[in-house]
Amino acid sequence: MYKSNYLAFDIGASSGRAILGTLSGNRVELTEIHRFTNEMTYRDGHYHWDIYHLFDELKAGLKKCIHDFGVIPDSIGIDTWGVDFGLLDENNEIIGWPFAYRDSITDNSMEEVFEIIEPFELYKITGIQFMKFNSLFQLWAIKKEYPEIIDKAEKLLFMPDLLGFMFTGKCWSERTIASTSQLIDPESGEWLTGLMDKLELPSGLMQEIVEPGTVIGKIKPEISRELDCPQIPLVASCEHDTASAIASIPARGGEWVYISSGTWSLMGLELSHPVLNKPAYEGPFTNEGGFAGTTRFLKNITGLWLLQECKKKWDRNGSVSYPELVKMSLEAPAFRSMVDPDHPDFMNPEDMESAIKGYCKNTGQPVPGSVAEVTRCIFESLAMKYRYTLEMLLKASPGEPDRLHIIGGGTQNRILCQYAANATGLKVIAGPAEGAALGNILVQAHASGKVNGIGRMREISGSSVDTMVYNPEDGQLWHQQYLRWKNIILG
């Protein structure tokens, strides 16, 4: 049976990987080729992404695929987190390093923009949840603080587009990644040039929007020579990692909710149209692009970032693995202390553990003392936030979902998956863990003509990955504790 091979570069805010997908019949076999770290770099008073380090790692992944694993992929595709971007000058040279979304440059941007356009009016135009690091506010902040950068800029490319440009020399904006920017009309899918003009932002920087599954072109000859490989085509997959992950959900029929679980937990519904009503604004929920013209109606929830940051500190006193943390959490008392994962104190603190303890103290709760207690606090708090978000989702877009699909790295945390089922009252289906990479690969397969449409993509996903089912337990207890948690976070 003929096999097709596709290489997905899936880059998150803390790590990246090159995953080879081999399609044969009704299955995709995934092979990890290369894994690397990705961390914000503090430089010249700001947090940035080292775009050159990332590109070197992608080249290393492609070289390993060909020379160590003996596979020349039919195509490559890149997906990353959203909102962040780089700028090119008139010579197509990258201007500095891209700002990282957790940098403080945007601290006052939302309030300054709201002085020009009222928040609900801006929401009706953009359909995007207000977060201070959205591309709109980043561009505003850079124009204000570093006008010389904007004066030099000729093109704006989002992170996967920028890395793709470094491979191919071509410039574009793939729809799903561009839709995270708060600069696109959620109805028409076109750039909001009128809004940008009103805010005196340079709309001429924006590139042509292409649909996921577009073949962009082949890697440059000099890259081909450097890696000793053919000029392999690059496909604009679903370049936002969440859009790729959702494309991989093995869902068939009925109504369902999803959580893409990792550094962030993105919880939402797949819809045929954007939702721009008052409950959506108050949620707040975002309307981002998905595969085949769908809308990802979702909320960004701070996810396992809290645990990742605590673990960095704990590892300085001796390495502790994530499975060990999960096991330890079961030894701590249940529902002793809970937090709102989205509280501003947890955005980018110097010491996450201290921030969590400070929140608990300030809200009159017992302060978690041990590693186990802090870890359990994080897991239970995340599950409560899922319940709260589900209620708000269904207020904005009524429905009767009968299950919750969890995808991404968080699927490997069985305790968090069980807590999600307990808190929401929904059956949880967990998997695939490498959802973003699998979705990226399936979109590449669609572009090559080997897979036709989202239904077939999800059928193949269901045949290719093992999933775990978690049924709700202790419903009355979790409901009582949920009411207590709401009282804590709402004051």
Q: What whole-number distance in Å separates Cα of residue 280 and Cα of residue 396?
A: 5
Q: Measured on CA atoms in the order 161, 97, 33, 327, is the torsion positive or negative?
A: negative
Please list the active-site residues.
Answer: 241
Give 143-170 as a DSSP string: HHH-HHHHHH--EEEEHHHHHHHHHHS-
- DSSP conformation class of 264: E
Radius of gyration of the chain (CA): 22
Query: Helices marked H in 91-146 — which ranges?
Result: 109-114, 119-126, 135-145
| Amino acid identity at 246 | I
C-alpha 258, offset from chain centre:
13
90-93: long-range contacts, CB 8 A cutoff, minimum separation 24: 90/152, 90/154, 92/154, 92/155, 92/165, 92/169, 92/171
Q: Where are the beta strands (DSSP E) in 277-423?
A: 286-289, 295-302, 403-407
- Length of the chain counted residue by residue: 491
> Where do we find the tokens 């085509």?
233
